[in-house]
Structures are given as C-alpha cells and as structure tokens.
Amino acid sequence: MTRPEPLRLTLSGDTDVVLTRQFFAPARLVYRAWTDATLVPRWLGKLPGWQMVECKIDLREGGAYRYVWSDNEGHSMGISGQFIQLVPNQRIVTKEVFDEAWHEGDVIATVELTEEDGVTTATTTLHYDSQQVRDDVIKSDVAWGVEVSYAGLDELIEVLG
C-alpha cells in the first residue's frame, strides 16, 4: 500500500505546534481510531520500545481519559486529560497534563478532520502555555532517542517564515 505524504510540522506563533497529516481513510474511521479505547493503544505514543498499558476513555464533552505507557524496564509514564469539545468525525479538543509535571501548565490539543474523496486530513494544533514550555517539550521529544536526519535549510526558512 502506498504511504500518504509525510507529516508536515510548523511552529505557529510562539506557543503552538501544528501537525498536518493525510490518512487514506474516511473521517469517521480516523475519528474512531482517535477516540476508541481499543484502538488508541495500537498507535498513540512516540517512544520506541514503550507500550500503552492503560487506556480509559469517557467519550463525552467534559469526560476524562487516562493513558499510561510503560517500557520493558518497569518505567512508566501517564497522561490525564479531559475532552473539552467533541464534534463526531470532525473535531476533538482536549486538555491534558503529564503525571510528572516536568513542564508548566496543560497542553490544549485540537484535532480537526476534513474529508475529501475518502482521504482525511488531520490538523493537530498543540497549544502550550509559553514558548519556553513548547520548546522544552520538543527538545525532550527529540531526546527520546528518535533518529535525526537532515531535511534542508529551505524548509526551515519556510517553516519559520
């Protein structure tokens, strides 16, 4: 199966990160994969070698969710969140916080789904309390050991413009 276009990442303003990605599936399935407690553990989580071991979702506005990941050496990491807004198959707005308060404040994540010809574009906006927090989060994500590759200066200029 052909892969969709790679994810596009932009830093928006001082406090936001915007991620845009296409999926070869209708919006209702993308929404389901994003909100169903049996499906979320199969893909959510950025750390290689970590598994989601707890996933509880109370899917309603004001409802809570809880995700816990652990690695083979007994380390674990959790997120507690709340659904702020839910528009089925279109929009998910959440507010979440990590168990270990290694950065200040919450993250507000907005996922917008738009479907065209069976292809769904998901635009995720992550809003942090300050630029410092946002940049620290990005730095720590990179420190999680993800392989780094060179992507070209032009793109950065464009991204930052």
Partner 1 sequence: MNAVQLDLTFNALADPTRRAILSRLARGEATVSELAAPFSMSQPAISKHLKVLERAGLIAVGQDAQRRPRRLVARPLAEANDWLEGYRRAWEEQFQRLDDVLAELMAQEALDAEAQEGAAQDGGSNTDNNPKQGLMR
* Interacting residue ranges for partner 1, rule: CB under 8 A: 1, 3-4, 6-7, 9, 11, 14, 19, 21, 23-25, 29-30, 32-33, 39, 42-46, 48, 131, 135, 138-139, 141-142, 144, 146-157, 159-161
- 31-40 burial, b if ≥16 CB within 10 A, otherwise e? bbbbbeeeeb
Q: What is the DSSP string of 20-67?
A: EEEESS-HHHHHHHHH-TTTGGGT----TT-EEEEEEE--STT-EEEE
Q: Which residues pair with 18 in a beta bridge?
A: 10, 125
Residue type, 28: R
- The rounded Cα 107 to chain-centroid distance in angstroms is 10
Q: How far is the CB of 157 from partner 1 (least distance, A)?
A: 5
Q: How far is the CB of 159 from partner 1 (least distance, A)?
A: 7
Q: Please, which residue, 102 or 144, has the CB nearer to partner 1? A: 144
Handedness of CA 28, 33, 34, 37 (dihedral sign): positive
Q: How far is the CB of 87 from partner 1 (least distance, A)?
A: 20
Q: Please, which residue, 93 or 122, has the CB nearer to partner 1? A: 122
Q: Please, which residue, 100 or 154, has the CB nearer to partner 1? A: 154
Q: Please, which residue, 14 or 104, has the CB nearer to partner 1? A: 14
Q: How far is the CB of 62 from partner 1 (least distance, A)?
A: 26
